[in-house]
Amino acid sequence: MMVLVTQRLILPLIGIAGLLAVLAYLSLVSAEELPERFETTSYKDVEDLFERLGYTPEAWQAGVRVIPRVYLANVPSRWRSTHSKEVSIRTKKQLFFRTLAPLVLRVNELILDDRTRVQSLAAELAEGRTLGASDIAWLDELAEYYKVTPPDSTGWSAHGLATLLLRVDIIPASLALSQAAQESGWGTSRFADLGNAVFGQWTRGAGITPDQQREKHSPYRIAAFESLIDSVRSYAKNLNTNRAYREFRRSRAELRARGERLSGHHLAQTLNRYSEEKQRYVDLLRQIMRVNRLDAVDDAYLDDNRPILLVPVGVDSE
């Protein structure tokens, strides 16, 4: 069953979990972007929607790199269910990548919006202009989010903004998709099912307790999220702020400075601290990229059409 309804009908039709996912998504869009809501109870529903939107493997193979703004609200329980055995492994992988890619690209869009504004303010400083109070307040808030120490009473300088720009930058889509596949078992893990946790991020706070704790670590949990886009945002913030990924940010900045493409395959080499498997983990990510031909996703972009919120219901949501 496929149901496409407008945003004004969303809230009366969904439960608390669905409402939280919608609110998490709406925090990332402007009023004029309010999405349509598409209910899905099966893989076939999603495939039919993608077919109607021209978002097909055939179009991708033909070189089409524009992706529709179809945002999956939550990881469907059906991805983990035994009922999904009727779907081929190839189809499962394709749907995993095709439903997650728009979320990764949307989060990157929002990061680039902030990055562009920081660059604009840096240009003003370079021209000798004084930043306004609202711009300073915005920079202070952004610095707090990205865990950058704001300047003292002397105010923001070109150096301070350059430091901030090291962190306010995108994550190559191929890298994000390969990590999501590896960390969540293509969306079939218990953590993905229970908490939209597709990147395996640890937390000492509230989260999902693993069945078995790793002996050499103090008790930890896997961070859980109300919506899938929250999981993607947290992952991007993790790579952009965690001390363990300084090499990732440095290498990305070097690519920027040389005017080169931000390649997930290239930057994967810097993430040997994301997993205890070290270099083997890097090799696994690159293998996923190669086998699934993810390199081209780094050139993909979202279309200008009105977003669609993809909401699993019925069988999918059980």
Q: What are phi and psi of 246, to 5 degrees?
A: -60, -35
Say if residues 12 and 63 touch (Cβ distance below 8 Å). no
pLDDT value at residue 26: 56
Q: How confident is the model at residue 195 (pLDDT cuts 50, 70, 90)?
A: confident
| Domain residue ranges of the chain, discontinuous segments joined by + | 2-108+170-317, 109-165
Sequence-ordered alpha helix ranges (H) in the chain:
10-13, 16-26, 43-53, 57-61, 89-126, 133-145, 158-165, 173-184, 190-195, 228-241, 246-257, 264-268, 279-291
List Cα–Cα distances, 19 to 48, 93, 170, 226, 307, in angstroms: 25, 28, 28, 9, 17
Q: How confident is the model at residue 254 (pLDDT cuts 50, 70, 90)?
A: very high
**Residue scoring higher pLDDT (235 or 193):** 235
CA distance 285 to 264: 9
Give the CA-trace dihedral at 109, 110, 113, 114, to 10 degrees. -140
pTM: 0.87
CA gyration radius for the chain? 20
pLDDT surpassing 80 at residue 273? yes
Q: Name the token pair of 141.
A: 């808030």
pLDDT surpassing 90 at residue 172? yes
pLDDT value at residue 56: 93
pLDDT value at residue 32: 54
Mean pLDDT of 252-261: 97
N-term to C-term CA, the chain: 16
CA distance 273 to 269: 10
Average pLDDT score, the chain: 85
Match domain 2-108+170-317 to its CATH number in 3.30.70.20, 3.90.79.10, 3.40.47.10, 1.10.530.10. 1.10.530.10
Q: Tens of pLDDT along 284-313?
A: 999 999 999 999 999 999 999 889 999 988
pLDDT surpassing 90 at residue 183? yes
Say if residues 115 and 165 touch (Cβ distance below 8 Å). yes
Query: Which are the contacts of 71, defined by CB distance < 8 A and separation ≥ 6?
Result: 25, 35, 102, 103, 106, 229, 307, 308, 309, 310
Mean pLDDT of 116-124: 96
Q: Tens of pLDDT along 65-99?
A: 999 999 999 988 888 765 556 678 888 899 999 99
Least confident of 111-115, 186-190, 258-262, 281-285: 186-190
CA distance 112 to 301: 12
Mean pLDDT of 114-125: 96
List Cα–Cα distances, 124 to 146, 206, 283, in angstroms: 22, 42, 43
